[in-house]
Structure 1
């Protein structure tokens, strides 16, 4: 089982017992904007997703890990998506429950996942998409050396409004 350990948190593979947390998070309309979700997921569909979560990143082109406290309480997810081994790149995304934001968890999580992506998967670059009003995420990605490489105008349409999205890249030199 994949497990990446930091000082205060660890990242681990999804387990069947994560169903309830996944159900609550994926069905929270407040996070649909960043996930691209437009309708709720059933527990049945999410259970099937968990049953296939063990599949290799080279096969499914994505990897989702649980962000856990030292006591193994799940407090969020971090994803590698659009995995492209030929061009050695992937997208990266993170979501934490509200009570865990602003405590350094995001910083530690992204450091662990960047290290994994660059050293184990041998990726050349990671990228992230962040809406211009998501100050915490903007700060987080800049802090970890991601560079703003562009702005996608009116990129996200959510709740009747268009929002710009910033594209960040981090190139492993």
Structure 2
């Protein structure tokens, strides 16, 4: 079995502004999620400064993924937190230059542990573009169960694409 890279999940710092700006304004990612507008550095700086990092207050937690050399390799989000049912949606982005090196898988492992043992969530779910075979493989490997196919769920500006809903009881 391939060994996963060593990563750390940490809170966002003001120094992460440029990475956040790059990710949030990467148009190729817009069709994978619910955002389709550019964000200014000002609004993102304001977000970093005012985020409490308390999932009960913000209804989300955004974590920075760092490798063993302390380089930011991506972001992990627990969003759409539902405090009554103790579930959240997991979102994950690895910067292009760090993709296909095991960082996404390592982040999933750590987010699962964090969600279960620190946040005491009952379940996580993800919505994945069906064209993203690498992501589908990772979530299947970590026992996320495929639910429904969400027909024409994601729009890339030209065409609609199906997405898969996966969930995992923790």
* TM-score of the aligned structures, taking structure 2 as reference length: 0.93
Residue 141 of structure 2: which of 120, 140, 143 is its match?
143
SS of corresponding position for 1:35: coil
Residue 120 of structure 1: which of 103, 111, 118 is its match?
118
Is 1:82–2:64 an aligned residue pair?
no
SS of corresponding position for 2:79: strand
SS of corresponding position for 2:126: strand
Q: Per the alignment, do residues 58 and 50 of structure 1 end up closer, same or farther by CA in structure 2, a change over 3 Å counting?
A: same
Q: Per the alignment, do residues 171 and 114 of structure 1 end up closer, same or farther by CA in structure 2, a change over 3 Å counting?
A: same
**Deviation of the 1:7 alpha carbon:** 5.8
Match of 2:98 in 1: 100
Aligned length: 167
**Deviation of the 1:113 alpha carbon:** 0.6
Report which structure shows greater RCO (CA 8 Å, sep ≥6): 2
Please report the RMSD computed on the Cα atoms of aligned residues, expressed in angstroms: 1.3
Match of 1:25 in 2: 23
**Deviation of the 1:48 alpha carbon:** 0.4
Residue 51 of structure 1: which of 49, 52, 59 is its match?
49
**Deviation of the 1:55 alpha carbon:** 3.9
Match of 1:38 in 2: 36
Query: Which runs of at least 4 in structure 1 moved beyond 6 Å after TM superposition?
Result: none
Which whole-Å deviations, capped at 9, do the CAs of 1:87-128 have from their partners, x for residues lacking one? Answer: 011110100011212211111111111111111111111100
* TM-score of the aligned structures, taking structure 1 as reference length: 0.92
In 1, distance between residues paired with 2:91 and 2:32?
A: 9
